């Protein structure tokens, strides 16, 4: 049984420690006694770090920012699962009451060649930035903002775009995929632009550029579905199907244009 409400628990952590991207790493066993079950996973790491500092041990490095499940910075592997045991929950929103008194918890960084370890649990996710830079935006002339109702958008289109825009870019999809593929991330970033009227002029160019940039950094999708299962925002695999369709259209169009020159 889990501890009662407001109770405290004693845990044993096995944490990955690595001083730098080119340095060897290894696990360190850390006792974590007297942890409030109502604190978040990151707050638990804060408590552990305060104790390590008091013992003159270097604290565990981990990435975080908003701690509200929005920024996507906090992801780590917890007992072999991105973000831990709770579905649709980012690491920062995972509470210790999901664990039991006496549990042993293994904490690692996301494992993917495209996400090199910076230090301990922090990884470099700039490969995602390269994908966005290649086309994850809408080009528009400068000037005053148009009225909100100037461009009508059907509700089903708006809903589709909002579902795609829920992606926080945490990288759990890459960490969960046996191929370290980034199709779900890329498809979400394409999906929320490609269906809107403002995104139509660059739809095919955007699709081709972002998919090919993705392929240069990440593995290929083989439809395991682990990405969607691990996603804290439950991004659907349907977005990958839409992305593949748009990419195919872009390649066909470019081949036709090339044959006419």
3-state secondary structure string, 78-124? ECCEECCCCCCCCHHHCEHHHCCCCCEEEEECCCCCCCCEEECCEEC
Q: Using CA atoms, how far apart are residues 85 and 40, in angstroms rounded to an integer?
A: 13
pLDDT of 2: 45
Closest C-alpha among 2, 79, 76, 7 to residue 42: 76
- In this structure, which long-range contacts are made by residues 17-21, counting pairs with CB atoms below 8 Å and at least 24 apart in sequence? 17/60, 17/120, 18/109, 18/117, 18/119, 18/120, 19/119, 20/118, 20/119, 21/116, 21/117, 21/118, 21/119, 21/124
* Longest CA span, the chain: 73
Closest C-alpha among 195, 188, 227, 192 to residue 211: 188
205-229 confidence digits (pLDDT tens): 999 999 999 999 999 999 999 999 9
Q: How many helices (H) and strands (E) does the chain have?
A: 8, 7
- CB count within 10 Å of CB 9 equals 20
Whole-model pTM: value is 0.93
64-112 confidence digits (pLDDT tens): 999 999 999 999 999 999 999 999 999 999 999 999 999 999 999 999 9
Q: Using CA atoms, how far apart are residues 261 and 256, in angstroms rounded to an integer?
A: 9
| Residues forming beta bridges with residue 119, ordered by sequence position | 122
Write down all domains in the chain, each with its CATH number in brackets: 8-119 (3.10.20.30), 125-260 (1.10.1060.10)
pLDDT of 143: 78
140 pLDDT exceeds 90? no
pLDDT of 261: 66
pLDDT of 4: 47
95's CB contacts (< 8 A; 6+ apart) are 37, 38, 39, 40, 41
List C-alpha distances in Å: 51 to 41, 78, 109.
16, 21, 21
């Amino acid at each position: 049984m889990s501890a009662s409400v407001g109770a405290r628990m004693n845990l044993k952590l096995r944490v990955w420690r690595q001083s730098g991207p080119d340095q060897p790493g290894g696990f360190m066993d850390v006792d974590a006694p007297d942890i409030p079950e109502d604190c978040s996973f990151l707050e638990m790491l804060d408590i552990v770090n305060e104790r390590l500092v008091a013992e003159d041990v270097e604290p565990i490095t981990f990435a975080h920012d908003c701690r509200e499940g929005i920024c996507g910075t906090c992801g780590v592997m917890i007992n072999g699962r991105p973000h831990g045991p709770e579905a649709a929950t980012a690491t920062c929103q995972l509470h210790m009451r999901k664990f039991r008194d006496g549990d042993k918890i293994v904490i690692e960084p996301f494992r993917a060649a495209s996400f090199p370890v910076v230090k301990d649990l922090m990884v470099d996710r700039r490969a995602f930035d390269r994908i966005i830079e290649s086309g994850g935006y809408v080009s528009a002339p400068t000037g005053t903002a148009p009225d909100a109702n100037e461009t009508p958008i059907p509700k089903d289109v708006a809903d589709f775009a909002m579902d795609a825009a829920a992606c926080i870019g945490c990288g759990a999809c890459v960490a969960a995929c046996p191929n370290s593929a980034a199709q779900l991330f890329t498809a979400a970033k394409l999906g929320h632009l490609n269906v809107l009227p403002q995104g139509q002029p660059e739809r095919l160019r955007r699709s081709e550029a972002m998919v090919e940039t993705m392929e240069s950094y990440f593995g290929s999708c083989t439809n395991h579905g682990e990405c969607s299962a691990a996603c804290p925002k439950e991004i659907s695999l349907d977005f990958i199907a839409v992305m593949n369709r748009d990419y195919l259209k872009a390649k066909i169009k470019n081949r036709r244009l090339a044959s006419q020159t």
